[in-house]
Chains A and B, each alone.
Chain A
């Protein structure tokens, strides 16, 4: 009796093991070598991290599902390079947890949208896209301007990102909330520490046009304006994609 049941059970376990082995190899073989990172991702010394305000903007981009209609990955095809700019390098999303390469372009690619339009254009466009692009089918995000940005937890965000490998310093983590406010409220004074921590090129201004407060619109525009500008590796002729 026991023997009979034992044999049956062994068949089932054998099937389970066979499925696991057959199914796991493919992923392992393809993914594991990518973690020998030196050759997968280019080494770029000038690559900078997102400021707390930009990170908050990125999280709004994620929260609103922007990635479902906008890619951030310019392929190595002539028409894409001519339309959107130099093709994307692996290093440019090195600090992107998670990546937002996207899979669909209901709207255009945004990998290099930073600096392409003015803040005013972005503000008007996000409040009602059809005011600036009449045939647009993008949703309106008017409430972003009405919603104050939640900054008090940004230190926790930076800390979690450091745990997964983004080089945020203790100084950056400690000042995260203040840095976010200062980047969008330059009149408030004290923005100096921000540039020391994140570099002279950090864009400091009232992104939504209102220096009196920090809204979610500030954060999202700050993020859009930095896209493709964390490093200029892609513009250097020597740079080679993977």
Chain B
């Protein structure tokens, strides 16, 4: 890793790490007796450990000019492995939480292991740890291939990847200590949020600098989606996390907004985190790896552009459908509902585009589980966007809101769409990055596919049933015109579904373990004369690009 950095970059790396360790030590000093200090210690320890890594390779020979004739894939490789590690953690904790809802005593009498604290560990590990690292890793890979240009330097991609994971670690360890803003999917406190902004700006700069040096005049549409992901997440993150810390030595802060404004801001964020983190970024993956794997160009490139702008524009209006029948002014609710229904058009255009691309390659889908992962992901994308638009309609939402139906919907999207497209893309890109003929075992991919699919279906059906049952029980009246069921009655009815859900989650987790093993074995297996197939390096032309420009 360090041997790939130029001497100048190694110096920069040392400078950044020394500064970071000083920041960590300052936090440690300022936050004694508070979680803030613990986080300072974590920052300092991480930075100092990295300093040793850099020192150990500091005097290795510099990489030669010939590196510029290759793409720079080391950060992508690391990102994919890290992403799978987060998947293990996130899925394990997720399933633990699921069992806790059926058997609340399956935990320790300790604050850190309480359901309320480990639930955000699950969501953050999956969304940001698993999803985010997969997005960063694949975006670097796709960006270079579609622009035919190498990443601008060797240091900043590592800064983005490792810095981002530092954010994830701070967030997750914070929840265990009770540090949370309580904003769903934005729970990390102010200092972690500031750090993420620094990382994100660097990420964006890498994108722009690579695009500026591209050899393809047209920017391939997958990059549009990745860019929308980067830009929109930056806007959402900054606005929703505006807060005043109680002091510069405490983790706790108070949101700038309150009540109804805070609710609207939070769900503008929350819904668009789904839109731009969990949809746009992964559509970027879909638009590259699916055509690539199928060996066929995307069915309609024009349709992909139209749906891109549709999604970018319309999603931002839809957040208020999370607040139907609340104290939010009704015109905002109506606006949110209208746009949510309109959203179905670009969403189905994308899903249809992906499936039509496979039309004529169905024999490949039958034989190749990797491609099947992507196909089923597109189907789930279509299903869950339909369901989402449906649930945003006010009367439907009256029934579905606050129930497990929402949880089922989210997991149809997260397991069926996001995780399956990610696994499919990872299975496509791992042999490519590590220069292997194929994955270690095609049969294990097949096994993973069926475990993931059955796990998702069990989970989603359990939650549909429990959600609708719950919603109906809450609003059922008996003949005398009073409510027929107490809240506890509805809870008792949930238990079978909660057990089924936990079993579905377990199957999904087992599938991911199989996947991780397969990826690991692919990496460990010796390359099959991969180097021999590498094409001759073209002569360096006038359009030379300096590293770190």
Contacts and interface: CB of A to CB of B under 8 A. Distances in A.
B325 A40 contact: no
B301 interface: no
B104 A140 contact: yes
Nearest to B105: A140
A163 to B, nearest CB: 5
B488 A12 contact: no
Interface stretch (B70-78, B329-337, B518-526): B329-337
Contacts of B264: 30-31, 34
A156 B250 contact: yes
A198 interface: no
Given A15-B219, A16-B208, A23 B116 contact: no
Given A30-B317, A106-B101, A159-B246, A75 B398 contact: yes
A213 interface: no
Interface string B202-216: 000000100111100
B259 A99 contact: yes
Contacts of A189: none
A233 to B, nearest CB: 12
Q: Tell me the dominant secondary structure on chain B's binding face.
A: helix
A63 B402 contact: no
Interface stretch (B44-52, B228-236, B362-370, B417-425): B228-236
Given A19-B228, A97-B257, A103-B406, A27 B316 contact: yes
A215 to B, nearest CB: 14
B258 A98 contact: yes
B483 interface: yes
Contacts of A142: 109
Nearest to B231: A19
A62 B182 contact: yes
B256 interface: yes
Contact of B335 (A30, A133, A163): A30
Between A8, A59, A69, A82, the greatest number of chain B beta carbons within 10 A of the residue's beta carbon is seen for A8
Interface in A139-192: 139-143, 153, 156-157, 159-161, 163-166
A210 B119 CA distance: 32
Contacts of B39: none
Nearest to A71: B402
A235 interface: no
B489 to A, nearest CB: 9
Nearest to A160: B246
A189 to B, nearest CB: 29
Given A11-B219, A30-B319, A139-B107, A160 B245 contact: yes
A5 interface: yes
Interface string B242-255: 00111100101111
A215 B235 CA distance: 40
A102 B211 CA distance: 41
A97 B111 contact: no
B273 to A, nearest CB: 12
Contact of B260 (A68, A99, A100, A161): A99
A23 B491 contact: no
Contacts of B487: 83, 107-108
B244 A136 contact: no
Contact of A98 (B111, B262, B330, B542): B262
A197 interface: no
A62 B180 contact: yes
B491 A76 contact: no
Interface in A40-73: 40-41, 59, 62-69, 71, 73
A29 B179 CA distance: 32
A89 interface: yes
B262 A156 contact: no
A164 B104 contact: no
B252 A59 contact: yes
A30 B259 contact: no
A127 to B, nearest CB: 11
A64 B224 CA distance: 39
Between B329, B339, B403, B477, the greatest number of chain A beta carbons within 10 A of the residue's beta carbon is seen for B329
Contacts of B213: 5
Nearest to A58: B182
B491 A160 contact: no
Contacts of B109: 140, 142-143
A78 B300 CA distance: 48
A116 interface: no
A35 B320 CA distance: 15
Contacts of B212: 5, 8-9, 12
B474 interface: yes
A67 to B, nearest CB: 5
Given A26-B316, A137-B101, A65 B115 contact: yes
Given A16-B231, A75-B398, A160-B254, A99 B316 contact: no
Contacts of B491: 106-107, 135-137
Given A30-B268, A82-B483, A19 B232 contact: yes
A26 B313 contact: yes
Contacts of B125: none
B116 A90 contact: no
Given A22-B309, A23-B231, A135 B260 contact: no
Interface string B373-411: 000000000000000000000000010011100110000
B325 A76 contact: yes
7 contacts: A15-B227, A22-B312, A26-B313, A65-B180, A83-B474, A93-B259, A97-B254
Given A64-B178, A139-B104, 18 more contacts: A5-B212, A16-B227, A19-B232, A23-B231, A23-B316, A24-B316, A59-B252, A77-B398, A83-B474, A83-B487, A94-B258, A98-B182, A99-B259, A99-B266, A103-B322, A137-B495, A164-B254, A164-B256
Ordered nearest first, which 10 A-B pairs have the shortest CB separation?
Answer: A65-B116, A26-B316, A75-B325, A93-B259, A26-B317, A98-B255, A63-B178, A90-B327, A12-B211, A105-B402
